[in-house]
Structure 1
């Protein structure tokens, strides 16, 4: 998997290049915002990692520019800790935000999560069940040809199920995938969002045939 690292800290970039290459990533680097856009256009990375405080173009400007033509996941790695910076980055189109300093294990876990979102487990970009078509690449859902609006959390839940069709997805796995923490334990949130998904995607929400609950364990998508 190809990863673009855009950061103006040469020591950090060098350390990340060595570490990530050891974990199987093909690493491309850029030292400023303008170079990041050029590198992304030429290298077509699978995941983009960038800092917010870069010269020539800041990270937010880079994200806006990239989102004009690529859907590659973007993870911001920044020393800025303010919530406003995180909100600005996510609103601009970033998929995740990690604050420096960070643990390498955490960064690797987040990269793996982004990679799972990038490539469907089945190798296909669309998943269909009933009259519903889920386009994982375009992050779009249609039912009988009409676009269905999902909230970001509903989308993450459905996307994770679509990447594991037919398999039991545990509540713990979904909580970690959606909220990014093993510490989240209230599965009432999952019941709420699953109820909303069924209302939007099942013919008979009270008697679902595709979005199934496995009592005491989790959920399963039956195609």
Structure 2
């Protein structure tokens, strides 16, 4: 009986922990519409689909030398997936703009994966590797945007971002050149390249040792808050 008592106690603890975890997790449920190719509006709340990136609404792709509205088409395809369906979104956090991030599903589909598998979004490798395989399958089938020439959504946003006009960039530019030694133990290097892109490099990344640091950061959150994006590792 002591053995049984220990098993019962452990089982009860597992149930309590599972119930507590379920209570803490935020789940949005209801009908949904697409705000763009990687965002839904569930009820009155906008949810950015975690781990994926779709063409922006103003973005075009090229097929046979002709431009077409791939961003608008991506939104339409996502709308088709949720039309008339109950959508459940497990909220996993918020992004740097305060938007909810989530994994959303209908009865039969995980929408994050489905829209990548259909070729209307890419795996957002900077934040997750979860949908890389789905992207590779879409590439092989030349599905959606993979049957065209296009700019990655993150690169499109960067190219079309408003130019910095406040004095902060000029102040940074006027600072003395920093060496490649970490500052106060902070080892993340912020660098502005010739194209005007603000990129940060982590120790161990390609080109880290060759990168001239214009600023050092202790965390990636600090680097992003200063306007830098993570270096893309191929």
Please state which band the TM-score falls in when normalised by the shorter chain. under 0.3
TM-score when scaled to structure 2?
0.24
Structure 1 or 2: more helix by fraction? 1
TM-score when scaled to structure 1?
0.25
Q: Which has the higher contact order (CA 8 A, sep 6+)?
A: 2
